[in-house]
Structure 1
Amino acid sequence: MSVRLSLLAAARSSALLATQFDDDRPLDAVGWQEVERAAPVLCRLAAAELRYCSPSARCRETGEGLGLRPLPQPALRDCDMGRWRGRTLGEVAAAEPAAVETWLADPRSAPHGGESLLAFITRVGGWLDTRPVEDAAGLLAVAEPGVVRAALVYALQAPPHAYWRIDVQPLSVVTLAGRSGKWDLRLEA
């Protein structure tokens, strides 16, 4: 038996616009408007028997705004960016260019003192692999774009560098079907 898990990327916040690392800002006004406009299309996601979300404010608010009432899951938090938290990539690159270069090139590195890309992907994958398979109604997770990217890399058994090549837009949905260690990507209309 397999499980169907839909991953919904959270609506935008001002942190997304500024590309700040791991900043727990709530939805901004435009994000709330996007949720309102998308609600008629995304209401189908409420059919999921189990609904989860990243513990960030914007993921919780996206889920609540869509009437999903998701349960926060610590394992779905965004990558721990250590001392880079709340800073933009530009700020960090200006202050620590060698550290940024190392971080982008080596998925095992964590020059910021937080979590490496590989550890992040493994954490999210561990959460995926522990989902109950007897749930016929499906699962839903409202997550940060980085979490969606990590889940896709893990599920497709892609190399960690593929993470940087996946673009996840706010309020986009992707579905994974399968079970522990064996996932398929489903694109739905």
Structure 2
Amino acid sequence: MKLVFATNNRHKLEEVSAKLNGAIELVALHDIGCDEDIEETGATFYENASIKSHYVYKNYRLNCFGDDSGLEVEALNGEPGVYSARYAGEHGNHDANIKKVLEKLAGTGNRRARFISVISLMWNGTEHFFEGTVEGTIRHGRRGTGGFGYDPIFQPYGFDITFAEMTLEEKNKLSHRARAVEKLVQFLTEQATGPSL
């Protein structure tokens, strides 16, 4: 089974591919000849994920899914939210984004936060949504060199290390994206084999 992941983000591809365990062949946008930078103009994670999957399905008629994910910090009223990748202005500047979060939280006792991931799957012309979240806290400084984005400052509940200190395998057991992908895989498995009794 081949499925297009509406991204060219190498880190996301690695995370999701590892979760799929070879059961589904995942291809990226550049694999189908799509070099378009699909703009995320939605106001919610659901809207942004939907924009990506609809774009690919409309233009290439291939089963595909798009995702949108980000960090929501309770004391910052849910910021950075849908603006997670460009919170400090420049898209994908992880260092600047982390610095801005830490500066805005300086002197704040409430460090509660969560990562959320929403997947929009276009499957034979019908859209399906899958959501995954992981709760945790924002550390006062960076720790670890793995992962990407806000991983160096996010510590999930029940752990004394950040996402950036975990191996990909460890992170994939509990991350927001992993949880959304598990629901996606369950759906695709049922499509291929029929629902289990």
**Fold-level similarity (TM above 0.5):** no
User: If each structure's helix is expressed as a fraction of its own residues, which one has the higher value?
Assistant: 1
Higher strand share: 2
The TM-score normalised by the length of structure 1 is 0.31
Name the structure, 1 or 2, with higher relative contact order (CA <8 Å, separation 6+): 1
